[in-house]
Amino acid sequence: VRAANAGSQRAPRGAVPSLGFPGDTGLSLSAEAMKINQNTVLQGQRVTLVPYTSAHVPRYHEWMQSEELQRLTASEPLSLEQEYEMQRSWRDDADKCTFIVLDRERWSGQARAEEDCMVGDVNLFLTDAEDPTLGEIEIMIAEPSYRGRGFGKEATLMMMSYGVKNLGINKFEAKIGQENEASICMFKKLHFKEVAVNSVFQEVTLRLDVSDQERRWLLEQTNHVEEKSYVELKLPDGVLET
């Protein structure tokens, strides 16, 4: 999942092993909390973020047949069955958190199916078992017509804010292919600093430490975001009325 327009590598392709095991007391509460978004919808101005479900997999799989996206996200093509397995991993693993990015305007009123409104995805995952406050972030705007229009920036800010407020993240990293200048530029606009270059993998690592000042800025950037229940939004009108 990851990084056309703004993002890093497609880590779910197997690059990130799960750090959590049942009964593993070495994992912090924040790692266990990575699954808390299963019933969370975040509504911004341009985008709505919804949990990644099996209903999204066919469209996602379709995206990832693109050679351009494979290159930008350092991904290998998967079979549809493998894509379903990957979706289950993102749903169940305690060290991964992902949202599908929808075009809010197209999806408003649910006149269209979510699969018809998908534009990309955004992810956070824990890569350091010793430091559960460090989250690696990825964003992929898979639909070319949505790139360069602020969708990736808003989705990234919303995920960062969610990570800070709900997951205990206070440091972010993004690993981006050197050729992906648009992504590197976007993260730098979000106050990330370049900290390393890997010439073997041809990628740049950018980092943001969330100071009190950065936290205030981040929350200001996302004060318009509404958090809602995914189950309630998907129920037919009137079901919840008493």
Domain CATH number, residue 92: 3.40.630.30
The vertex-224 CA angle with 59 and 93, nearest 5°, equals 45
> Residues 6 or more apart from 37 whose CB is under 8 A from it?
51, 97, 98, 99, 162, 166
Q: Does residue 98 come out as left (phi exceeding 0), alpha (psi in the -120 to 50 range) or beta?
A: beta
Strand duo 171-177 + 47-51: pairing: unpaired
The rounded distance, in Å, linking the Cα atoms of 192 and 174 is: 8
The rounded distance, in Å, linking the Cα atoms of 166 and 36 is: 8
Residue 205 domain flag: yes
- Domain holding 125, by residue range, is 40-224
Beta strands in the chain (DSSP E): 40-43, 47-51, 96-103, 118-126, 134-141, 171-177, 193-198, 203-209, 226-229
Cβ distance 78 to 69 under 8 Å? no
Residue 242 domain flag: no
Residue 9 domain flag: no
pLDDT given at position 14: 33
Indicate the burial class of 2 (C-beta count within 10 angstroms; 0-12, 13-18, 19 or more): buried
Residue 241 domain flag: no
Residue 46 domain flag: yes
The rounded distance, in Å, linking the Cα atoms of 44 and 178 is: 30
Neighbour tally for 216: CB within 10 Å = 11
Residue 52 domain flag: yes
Neighbour tally for 19: CB within 10 Å = 21
The rounded distance, in Å, linking the Cα atoms of 237 and 224 is: 25
Neighbour tally for 76: CB within 10 Å = 11
What's the total number of domains in the chain? 1
pLDDT tens by residue, the chain, 242 residues: 444 444 433 443 333 333 333 334 334 444 455 567 888 999 999 999 999 999 999 999 999 998 888 887 778 888 999 999 988 887 888 888 999 999 999 988 566 789 999 999 999 999 898 999 999 999 999 999 999 999 999 999 999 999 999 999 999 999 999 988 999 999 999 999 999 999 998 899 999 999 999 999 999 999 999 999 988 887 654 444 43
